Structure formats: C-alpha cells, structure tokens
Structure 1
Amino acid sequence: MNRFLKRLFELSQADARLVVGLMSGTSLDGLDIALCRFTGCGLATCVEVLHAATFPYSEDFKQDLRSVFSKREVDLEKVTLLNAKIGEVHGDQILRALKDWGVDPSAVNFIASHGQTIYHAPKRFHGLTTYPNATLQIGDGDHIAFKTGIITISDFRQKHLAAGAEGAPLALYGDYILFSSSSENRVLLNIGGISNFTYLPALQSGGIICSDIGPGNTMIDLLTKKYFNIPFDDGGQIAARGKVCRKLLAELIAHPFFHEPLPKTTGPELFNTNYLEAAIINSGSTGLAAEDLITTVTQFTAEAIAKGIKEGCNAPSLAIYASGGGSHNQYLINSLRQLLPQCKIDRFESLGVSADAKEAVLFAVLANETVCGSKVDTGAGPAVTMGKISLPD
C-alpha cells in the first residue's frame, strides 16, 4: 500500500489529528492559515485552534489575481499559470507559518486548501440550459502537497456541485458541526467579499438554512480603492462621514436577486462596479461625493444582510455572531443593530474561535470529515463528503 494512503487510514483511526486550514477569499488580500488540533468527527468534533494568521499577498500577486478574477473573458494562459503559481505561493506561505510557529511540517497530518475562487457561475446567472451549476477555484493541491511534503485535501466545492447544489456557501457544514446550540437560535454571519449566513435553530430542530444574501465588502472596497487609494474602509470611518442617498439605495436593493427565495448564491460577478454604475444612472444619482457613495453602499450592504436574515430565520429571538472583514466595520454593524433591533449581535470570537480564522477552520473541518467522518447530513444541503486528496509524491 502507498505509504501516504496507509497514513490516511491510520489517521482515520487516530485519537487526534493536526490539520492546517487555508482560506483565500474574494477580497484577494491574503491567505488565512489556521493550525488546528481535531478530536472526533461529525457532531462529536472538538477543535482547538493552536495558531492562526493572515499572510498578505504582494501587490504584484494581487494584480495577477485581479487579472482573472470574476471576469467572463480572460487570458487562458494566465489562468493556467496561476493555477500552478497559487499552489506554490500557498505552499511557501504554509512553510513560513509553520516556521514562525515552531512547528515541524512532518508533525502536520494534512492540509485543507480552499484555493482561490476566480469565477462563480450558478445556472441562475449563466442561463444556459444545457450547462450545470459551476464554480472554479484554482491553486493546485498537488503543488501544495509536493512543496510542503504534507497530504493536501482541496477543491471541496466540486462535490457540492456534482450533487446538484451551487457549490456555495459551504460554511453550512462546519457551522453545523462546531456551533450548533441546544439553547440558542444562532445566526453565523460572515461578511467577506460576499455576505452569507448559517441559521442554526436551537435543539437542531430542523429549519437549518445557509445562504449568500448579497454584497459584503466587495463594492465598498472597490470605492475606497478608487477614491482614496486604500484597500478598505477601516472601521467604517469613511462611511460615518457621508450621507445615504435614498434614491440610489432604493435602486441598489431593487435587483431581482433580493426577491429570489433562499438559499441562493452570488458573487462579484453580480455585485461589482457595473452594478453600481447602472444603479447610479437609473436612479439619477450622478455627481455624488465619494463619502456619500461609500456610505450608501455600506448601508446597502447592511440592508441586504438584514433582509436575508429576516426572510430566512423565523425564530422570535436570534443571536447573530459576525465574522469576516465586514465585522470590523463599525458603521455597518451599527446599521445592522438598527435594522435588527430584536437580535443580539456579537463578535464571532465569543464562540471561542477567532473571527478572522473562522473560514480556514471550517475548511479544516471539512478535511477532517473527509479523512475520518462520513457524509455530513445537515438537512439543508446535499449529504456529501467533499475534497480531493493530493499525495506529496
């Protein structure tokens, strides 16, 4: 038997496993790396996050990613080259993280790599009747495995698609395993490039839902880059200086996406500069100050999130735990508190896991299930085991 396959079999029976989880999101700002110790699987899973950090991408690398990200027409050679390059870059960043943490790579049992999403194409978007739902993440797992010498599990979203779903959001599975509560109706809200949530009713009584609900930071970041040459609105300070343009806000929230039933998926393929420019023209809102544009788009983000939570969560009381870059935007969070006065809104850290590490941890959970669990049946998505296994040699 191949020694790595034998090792996987042994790990499936082991008392504990040491796993590196990776996440690179639609913000394209860097790689989140979390080193986790797992015991158990399924609803008996226990995880201890030993180390976590974000390793920023160089500006040149970001530009490379932007050249193929969320575009219908791209240079196919560049996509091919980046598939290998991202794998190598992520491998280097993993080795750097382990060195910083004083951890020998040989002590790590496997890596869980999300890869880099470059295009999301559910059938609702592409409208081509002879083609299925699709999504594409690049950053080849074999390159990571070879560079690090560590078994790598990657490309998790394709099994979700193969089972008839849309490939996103996958947070449902890890949220269900790690954060279900017997006493509290929980909403786990992630405000990344796109906003999504998992609703976990108390006592796991059914009615679990996980869905994208609209933009997160994507459109805000585009505006701060364009007008202020900064990557994001730190703490929502710019939004706090401006005024909401109600005509533009109404046009932004009028898109048919917000009338589609949950669950659903979306991405920067919809919520982008073209979306904003069309809304500005259609609402007769040309000539707005930069601060007012950012305030309005931030308020739009808050209202899209609140709308989705109101539609998807039918409990009288909710505890919302916010993660992702948008959870640091105080203007956005304050707007959510005003729109959802009946809800408790808290930082995700109160559940015992760093908000910034959450998504990397959730993919480590999926890899742990691949090795020692079974297909995860939440009742709210396909019951499947996800991830492709790459061996180091």
Structure 2
Amino acid sequence: MALFIGLMSGTSIDAVDAVLVSFTPHFKQISSYSHPIPDSIKQRIFSLAEGHEESIDALAELDRDLGELFAEACLALMEHSGQAVGNISAIGSHGQTIRHRPEQSYTLQIGDSSRISERTGITTVADFRRRDVAAGGQGAPLVPAFHQGVFHSDSEDRVVINIGGMANLTGLPKNSAAHLSGFDTGPGNVLMDGWIKRHRGCAYDKGGLWAQQGQINTRLLEQLLSEPFFKQSPPKSTGRELFHQGWLDNHLQQLPSVAAEDVQATLTELTAISIAEAVKSLSLDNPALYLCGGGAYNPYLNQRIQAQLPALTVKTTAALGIEPDWVEAAAFAWLASMTLTGQPGNIASATGARGPRVLGAIYPA
C-alpha cells in the first residue's frame, strides 16, 4: 500500500496540518497530526504576507525555518502513526503562501522543500501552484480535482466549501460529464480572526460566540460587499494581499463608530453571504453543501450560511468520510501522487489555465 503525507499551512496560519493517507485501492486516511506554529514564526509570516517586511534576508530566513518546521511536522506524524521512513512514498507540501497575485502572473509559497527531504529522508513534492500560473491560470484553487475524486456522487449535486483564512468552493455536478467549477469566494476566517485578536486577544471566535453578541451593521456590510472581487466572474482567487485588517480599517474609517462586537457579527455575515452568492451562481440542482476547514467548526457561521440558503442542506465533510480539518492536507498528498505518476493536478475550468498540467517540483530523498 503506497502511503503519502500531505502538509498544509494556510492563510489562517493556525497550525501545520499533516495527514498520512493512501489512495489505493480507495482513499483512506490513516493518521493525522496538527503541528503548532511558534508565535515568532507567525509574526514573520504576517509581516511578509501583508507587506510590512520585504527584505530578501527575511524571506530566505523564513523559507529556511518553515522548511525545518514542516519537516518536524512530518517526523512527528510518522512517530504518532508508527510508520517508518521506508513506508512513505512521498510528502506533498503546499508551503506557506506569502504572495498570491495571479493578476500579475505570480504566486509564491515558501518552506524549503530541500530541507524537508533532507530531514525526513522522504521524496518531497512542492511548489504546486506556479506551473498553473505559468499556464495562464490563477494557481488556485487546486483542490477541485481531489474533491471530484473523493466526494463526487452520482445521485446528488454537491458543493464542497473550504473555509480557511480565505474561502473557496468546488461545484460537483452528479453528471460527471458536466462542467466542474471551483473558485475563491472571498474571506473565510481571516478578517474575523484578525478582529477578535485585536480586541480580545483570542486567536479566533470560538463557536462564533462573540459575533452572536453583536448586531449586523448593514451600512458596513454593504460597503464591504462593494469590493469588486465579489462581482468578478470566475476563475478567480484571492488572499491576504486584498483581504486584511488594513482593508477593513479603510472601510470602518468611512462610517460612524461601530461597536467591536457588531463588526464581528458583520464580518461573519460577509463570509456567509459571499459564500452563499457563490453557491447561487453555480448551475447545480439543489446541491448539498459540505463544509471543511476551520470555519466548519463555527456553528454561528454555519447558521448564517444556512439562513442564506434555506432550501439546501448544510453538513461538514465528516459526513463524506473526511474530517474538515484534514481535507486540504489530504489534497496535497494526492497532488504529490499525481506529480510522481506524471498526471495533471489542476482543473483548467477552475483555475483558468490553458489546459491540464503536471504540477509541482520533485525533491528526491
């Protein structure tokens, strides 16, 4: 049985998700591990990702240190699962995105893959997004092909919605010959997390409890929804380059003072509405919605999504056999397996690339 490790560190920067999986004869999750990211490294990622720090030395040092951190996550996962190095076919590492500007035809994920391979003794596949961008695509989302492979149903249309720092979706028509769609919908948790950290010192709004204490400010919501990205037609993707605390502050400055808890409630509604409007734009017949990512564990956010789409069922991917935390990491393990067998990993209709491409660079053990 061929085993693969998938590594994911997303725009929420909450942890490195590491998952051990097999794809033969069918997908099977064997083990998982969440590796903490030290606060000092988080701050360096934020500084680079949001443009506060732009020196080459800072970039190179963070690339080095993230490579070491990702290797530690792999080694901890193998110890946790009792697997030896020789049992692992490859590691698929997403890396840490610090710039994503597809409109300028570039994207950059760091986390020195040479160090991951050297420290673990396992072939590592990384840098998945840039080949798609080179082919005219957005470089994101790359998970739709994996979603199609593991979540497709012949009996119902489905939408898989990943709510990480940013949110993206994949529309899966039950007719496998029909058009598959996938794109970023806008901010997921990134604005909510940043706002509660500023005002309450918490990493995230657990259960959406703080948002529930506030009232949705309709003027603020209308201003936030006026962002052109929301009206842009797919293919499209986004990141912290657009949706960050400075973007929110610019909107707040144009309004009378808004209570902090009301801002949190409004940000939650922004995520819910932008996801709901994206779902409505799909040519699907009463699709079932399946949430993954950290936002899947926010009951209030889920309620607001359901309120926007009352005719549809909203569940998490746990109902399909994969816990929400591990879907993206599993996807990059799958992408590594595709790269090693010379098979395309992108869906051109989702990313906008000129066609299917074999993604990633291979760093041999």
TM-score by length of 1: 0.89
2:327 is matched with 358
Amino acid at match of 2:41: F
2:97 is matched with 117
1:212 is matched with 184
Deviation at 1:299, TM superposition (A): 0.7
Larger Rg: 1
1:173 is matched with 145
CA RMSD of superposed structures (Å)? 1.4
Deviation at 1:379, TM superposition (A): 5.8
Amino acid at match of 1:380: S
Aligned counterpart in structure 2 of residue 51 of structure 1, from 31, 34, 39: 31
Inter-CA distance 30–305: structure 2 relative to 1 (3 Å threshold): same
2:157 corresponds to 1:185? yes
Amino acid at match of 1:273: Q
Contact residue 53 and residue 357 of structure 1 kept, 8 A: no
SS at match of 1:195: strand
Contact residue 33 and residue 360 of structure 1 kept, 8 A: yes
Aligned counterpart in structure 1 of residue 88 of structure 2, from 92, 95, 108: 108
Instruction: Name the CA distance, whole Å, in 2 between partners of 1:315 and 1:103.
Output: 42
Superposed, 1:125-140 pairs within 5 Å as 132-140=104-112
Inter-CA distance 377–149: structure 2 relative to 1 (3 Å threshold): closer
Deviation at 1:72, TM superposition (A): 7.0
SS at match of 1:261: coil
2:222 is matched with 250
Per-residue CA distance 1:210-260 (angstroms, 9 max, x = gap): 000110000000101000000000010101111111110111101111111
2:363 corresponds to 1:390? yes
Instruction: Name the CA distance, whole Å, in 2 between partners of 1:142 and 1:376.
Output: 22
Contact residue 5 and residue 91 of structure 2 kept, 8 A: yes
Instruction: Name the CA distance, whole Å, in 1 between partners of 2:345 and 2:238.
Output: 23
Aligned counterpart in structure 2 of residue 342 of structure 1, from 277, 300, 311: 311
Per-residue CA distance 1:49-74 (angstroms, 9 max, x = gap): 00012111121221222221232751
SS at match of 2:5: strand
Inter-CA distance 102–310: structure 2 relative to 1 (3 Å threshold): same
Contact residue 208 and residue 379 of structure 1 kept, 8 A: no
Instruction: Name the CA distance, whole Å, in 2 between partners of 1:94 and 1:385.
Output: 24
Deviation at 1:375, TM superposition (A): 2.2
Per-residue CA distance 1:31-66 (angstroms, 9 max, x = gap): 0000011215xxxxx211000121111212212222
SS at match of 2:140: coil
2:271 is matched with 301
Instruction: Name the CA distance, whole Å, in 2 between partners of 1:225 and 1:94.
Output: 29
Instruction: Name the CA distance, whole Å, in 1 between partners of 2:304 and 2:280.
Output: 15
Instruction: Name the CA distance, whole Å, in 2 between partners of 1:90 and 1:82.
Output: 12
Per-residue CA distance 1:96-151 (angstroms, 9 max, x = gap): 2211222222221111101100011121xxxxxxxx41110000111100000001
Deviation at 1:89, TM superposition (A): 1.3
1:81 is matched with 61
Moved more, 172-181 or 347-356: 172-181
Amino acid at match of 2:78: L
Moved more, 341-350 or 70-79: 70-79
Per-residue CA distance 1:269-321 (angstroms, 9 max, x = gap): 11111211222233x2x32221111011111111111111111x122311000
2:212 is matched with 240
Mark the runs of 5 or more structure 1 residues left unpaired by the alignment.
Answer: 1-15, 41-45, 124-131
Contact residue 2 and residue 87 of structure 2 kept, 8 A: no
Instruction: Name the CA distance, whole Å, in 1 between partners of 2:112 and 2:347.
Output: 29
Instruction: Name the CA distance, whole Å, in 1 between partners of 2:179 and 2:308.
Output: 23
Aligned counterpart in structure 1 of residue 11 of structure 2, from 26, 34, 41: 26
Instruction: Name the CA distance, whole Å, in 2 between partners of 1:340 and 1:273.
Output: 28
Instruction: Name the CA distance, whole Å, in 2 between partners of 1:154 and 1:303.
Output: 33
Moved more, 56-65 or 241-250: 56-65
Deviation at 1:268, TM superposition (A): 1.3
Count, aligned residues: 361
Deviation at 1:372, TM superposition (A): 2.5
Deviation at 1:24, TM superposition (A): 0.3
Instruction: Name the CA distance, whole Å, in 2 between partners of 1:278 and 1:66.
Output: 19
Contact residue 176 and residue 200 of structure 1 kept, 8 A: yes
Inter-CA distance 165–379: structure 2 relative to 1 (3 Å threshold): closer
2:72 is matched with 92
Per-residue CA distance 1:356-375 (angstroms, 9 max, x = gap): 01000001111111123522
Instruction: Name the CA distance, whole Å, in 2 between partners of 1:220 and 1:137.
Output: 24
Contact residue 346 and residue 359 of structure 2 kept, 8 A: no
Aligned counterpart in structure 2 of residue 292 of structure 1, from 230, 239, 262: 262
TM-score by length of 2: 0.95
Inter-CA distance 379–92: structure 2 relative to 1 (3 Å threshold): closer
